[in-house]
A = this chain, B = another copy of it.
Amino acid sequence: MSENLDYSDQHYFNSYDHFSIHEEMLKDSVRTISYRDAIYKNRDQFKDKVVLDVGCGSGILSMFAANAGAKHVIGVDRSNIIDMAREVVAANGLSSKITLIKGKMEEVVLPFDKVDIIVSEWMGYFLLYEAMLDTVLYARDRYLVDGGLILPDKAIMYISGIEDEEYKGQKIGFWDDVYGFDYTPFKSLALRDPLVDCVEEKSVITTKFALRTFDLYTVTKKDLSFSSDFQLLCMNTDTLHGFVVWFDIDFERVNNKVHFSTGPAAKYTHWKQTVFYTVDNHNITTGDSIQGKIDVSPNVVNPRDVDIEIDYSVQNGSRHCLKFIMA
């Protein structure tokens, strides 16, 4: 009996606490190395500072900050994963530098009244899905000293048009004939369901348009509902099957800036991209313009979900209105 384990750790295996989510995030090297670079390459700005890690998860950002010379790091997370983070921090001899607190950011009591720096990896799919940006904003308004730093400090959401015949056939057309049966009621659901998946760069057939910039120093909770007009220019003569949305992240107010993208032209991240299929396909010609408007707001029933409407027309043709729920 070389290993005598018991089942007391069961709670780590339950739903949101399952460690595989954290494994996926840690293994997302674009994400993790961007944060590491933003911290390690700006040691002069971390030296002797009090740092708050909002939603610290397995503790990786807290340990980066401690290693970069922070005076003290406070990690807050409401998930049971923080008990694991505590073990990891201890295993790395950082327990005296890092205080981990389990609870909601809005309810916990921190050992410092103010912090110099907030670090947080708060981004969800489509940037805002199940995201905890509002928690970061609470922490900023309550705890950040005047002139304090937020890492990252900018998120920009982009949209492009895509050609995606093959995959749209698998996800939408599939329901027309399922082993001989008409499953079109599911087709209606599928057309309302944004698809988180990897879009190849070659599928992008229009210019990109920056829908929205979130400046972490100034954004407020009400900005999480927004409406943006967009214009796209077709770069190919092809068929438009839908739109793809992604985001870029910047660490700008540090001496050595860091940037990463989750777009189709960038290296894989666990956020992939978010695809919104159109009901109709559209033949488009190089130079055609697409005019559109996107409306984004937290779902009224379940605020972690996101309602998304995309209105668009191709070359001033008829107006199409698509409604999605990201749930």
Residues of A within 8 A of B (CB): 1-7, 9-10, 12-14, 18-20, 22-23, 26-27, 32-33, 36, 58, 60, 63-64, 84, 87-88, 91-92, 174, 178-179, 181-186, 188-193, 279-280, 299, 301-302, 305, 307, 318-323, 325, 327
Contacts and interface: CB of A to CB of B under 8 A. Distances in A.
B325 A58 contact: no
Given A14-B327, A27-B174, A189-B12, A183 B58 contact: yes
A183 B32 CA distance: 15
A192 B11 CA distance: 13
Nearest to A309: B5
Majority SS at the chain A contact face: mixed
A182 B91 contact: yes
A32 B179 contact: yes
A13 B186 contact: no
Contact of A323 (B5, B19, B174, B327): B5
B320 A3 contact: yes
Nearest to A192: B5
A181 B62 CA distance: 12
Nearest to A319: B1
A321 B193 contact: no
Contact of A186 (B7, B36, B84): B84
A18 B4 CA distance: 39
B323 A7 contact: yes
Contacts of A12: 189
B305 A186 contact: no
B185 A60 contact: no
15 contacts: A1-B319, A1-B320, A2-B279, A3-B322, A3-B323, A5-B323, A9-B188, A9-B189, A9-B192, A10-B301, A12-B189, A23-B174, A26-B183, A60-B181, A88-B181
B305 A183 contact: no
A90 B115 CA distance: 61
B184 A91 contact: yes
A56 to B, nearest CB: 13
Contacts of A301: 10
For the complex of A and B, list the 9 residue pairs with the smallest distance between their C-beta atoms, beginning with the closest: A13-B327, A87-B185, A91-B182, A5-B323, A1-B321, A3-B279, A19-B189, A92-B181, A92-B182
